[in-house]
Amino acid sequence: MKPFHEYVKDHAERTPEKIALAVAGQQLTYAELNELAAAVAQQLLATGMTAGDRVALHAPTSLETIACALGVMYGIATEKLILKHG
C-alpha cells in the first residue's frame, strides 16, 4: 500500500479537474490541491526541514488546513498524521 499523498498525486495527474475536496461550500480540484500542497512542501524544505522532522498543525478544518497537512506529507514524508476534529 502506498502513502496517502501518492494517491493524491496520482489523481492530480490522471483527473486534474475532478473535485478532490469540498468544505463549507468551497471546493478544490486535484490539480489545485496538488499545487497548494507542493507549495507548502517547498516552503518547509526551504526552511531546512528534512524527513523525520516534526510539524504541528493547529488550525480549523478548511481546505487550506488539509492542503497544509498534505504539503507536510509531500515535503517530509511523515508516516503519522493525527487529525482531531472539533
Domains and CATH numbers, the chain: 4-76 (3.40.50.980)
- Residue-wise pLDDT for 35-55, tens only, equals 999 999 889 888 888 888 888
Based on its alpha-carbon atoms, the radius of gyration of the chain, rounded to whole angstroms, reads 13
Reported pTM? 0.80
Is the pLDDT at 79 greater than 50, yes or no? no
Strand partners, 27: 22
Q: What average pLDDT does this structure show over 75-83? A: 56
Helices (H), the chain: 4-14, 30-46, 63-76
Q: Residues 78, 55: contact at Cβ < 8 Å?
A: yes
pLDDT band at 6 (very low <50, low <70, confident <90, very high): confident
